[in-house]
Amino acid sequence: MGQSASNDALPLIAGKEPVVASISIVGILFVNCVAAALLMQAAAAKTVDGTQLGRALSEIGLPWASGSGLVRLVALLELCAAVALVVEPTRRAGALLVAALGLSFAVVGLVGAVRGSEEPCGCFGRTEGAPFGPVNIAIGVGLLAVAVGNLAVVDAAANQPAGPVIGAALAALLLSLYANRRWILPIVRPLFPQSDRV
């Protein structure tokens, strides 16, 4: 009876018996935190200023997608996907939204690569950087893989609902600090003056 009770608490791989491979579950939770952080940073950048993204979308022949309203709608979807992905009751729905976003990123990257995009894509609020192309395709495929992994695992975080949320928050903080380091470093450096070496 004790064995049965412990098996009931284990996460399940869809269509199979309880799996003790906690490494794969920890892997899913870790990947979810990273994907959520990525989506939160992308959403924040689009919400603050989606102008560069709009220019890049117009350049590859998608002017209908470049309006600030649609860009902000995508930002809202990214934020919803990020939150849904790290909370167990909504994780599978979040995975479907992540799949849709991943597919759209990959398609836009492919269109940019085929049409020879040169305008920086404005990803993560950057006004310089790479145009639509291989990086967007890779991020899109990565998000699709995250979605597939989540759809294959049932109740991955049922026993520890706070862990993924805390992990996603920390990952989002680190990613945000890294993405905005150009503005943060000039502010932080004066706080830590280097002593003159003798």
pLDDT at residue 9 in the model: 43
Residue 133 buriedness (CB in 10 A; 0-12 / 13-18 / 19+)? buried
Q: What is the mean pLDDT of residues 98-114?
A: 94
Per-residue b or e along 62-94, where b marks 16 or more CB atoms closer than 10 Å to that residue's CB: beebbeeeebeebbebbbbbbbbbbbeeebbeb
Provide Rg for the chain, Cα atoms. 20
Q: What is the mean pLDDT of residues 174-178?
A: 72
pLDDT in tens, 17-41: 444 345 567 778 888 888 988 898 8
- For residues 142 and 103, the answer to whether their CB atoms sit within 8 Å is no
Report which of residues 153 and 2 the model is more confident about: 153
Whether residue 4 is predicted with pLDDT greater than 50 in this model: the reply is no
pLDDT in tens, 88-103: 788 889 999 999 999 9
pLDDT in tens, 40-79: 888 888 887 778 888 888 888 877 766 778 888 888 999 8
- pLDDT category, 160, cuts 50, 70, 90? low
Alpha helix segments (H runs only) across the chain: 2-8, 22-48, 51-59, 68-85, 91-114, 134-152, 162-179, 181-188
Using alpha carbons only, what angle is made at residue 12 by residues 6 and 18, rounded to the nearest 5 degrees? 45
pLDDT at residue 58 in the model: 86
pLDDT in tens, 113-147: 999 988 888 776 666 778 899 999 999 999 999 99
Report which of residues 123 and 177 the model is more confident about: 123
Distance (Å, rounded) from C-alpha 136 to C-alpha 150?
21
